Structure 1
Amino acid sequence: MNLKPPPPPSSPLASHSNPLPLTQTLTLHWVSPPPYPPTISKPTRLFRFRATANPTNPITDLAITAAADPPSSEDQKLLILLRQRKTEEAWIVYTQSTHLPNPTCLSRLLSQLSYQNTRTSLARAQSIITRLRNERQLRHLDANSLGLLAVAAAKAGQTRYATSIVKSMLRSGFLPHYKTWRIRTS
């Protein structure tokens, strides 16, 4: 279905200057707390949105973008590789990166490495955790990736490491998935 935008108004008022500014910054705040318990969720952040309208066609050219930093080309490349399940190539991009990737990339990479259940992949996943601990950036990981790492460590016979990951999750306010509690080392 091909929808065309409505034609611009032809009234005499349309030729006057637009009373709305071309760029406006909006700040959104929670009016009420989220409907779920705060111990399960990550801390909420304030988001700033920038709305830009084109006065010639305000309906089709309204763009809303988050004011956060745009993802770098390295992050985009890493995310594409992770979506394609090319974990080895993603690991190479991660190790060659000069900056810390965004939280989505980090969590996906940690999850995929943990899910492989090999000694090499577990060592790589642990090196990500070590780097994030050293840089005090563990908050970038989600509960799912940490839970997968705990299960992988327990299956590899590293029960102390698995326990420390679960304790770290609990201190951060994450509730591990029920499968994490049913870890079998055999």
Structure 2
Amino acid sequence: MNVQIILAGIGGQGILFSSKVFSELGLKMGLDVMGSETHGMSQRGGSVIAHLKLGKFQSPLIRKGAADILYSFEENETYRTLHFLKSGGICFVNLESADQFNKSIMKFLKEKEITFRAYDATGAASKIGSIRSANIALIGYSAGTGLVPFKYEDLRSVLELVSRKKNLKINLKVLNAGFQEGKLLKT
């Protein structure tokens, strides 16, 4: 299996932690892992993009039109990174409702047969008490939809491995909440 993933957001949204989660997940699945991160003014809320390749690849950067999955933790970063997705790719966005998303971009996604899922990961994480875990909620949601090749159990065990002890309990709760929401909309 080969999977190319783009993680996009702004500083403080857990892009690097999410990258670590997917890297460990790839290793757990027995896949080679390559990655690269771009940090804008990340400490000031600037753009952060991570490229991850799980499987057999030659280089860490993902070319335009080649990514299988885009996880965007911030709406504007979605617009900035959509060009990485291939036709038939999958886009998960931290957004209250798909109705908020730009209509002309939605038309473009439909033409490219890109599956688009909006999920209020920030709201879900907030309800559990950790707005900073919205990244984990979106990842859990994606697994729940069945659209990605990642199992909940594997994500859970990876979180147990990479989370700080003080954050583990909340991260697992948030992962489960996202997963359960994703299962409700399983396609």
TM-score range, shorter chain: under 0.3
Higher strand share: 2
Q: TM-score, normalised on structure 1?
A: 0.27
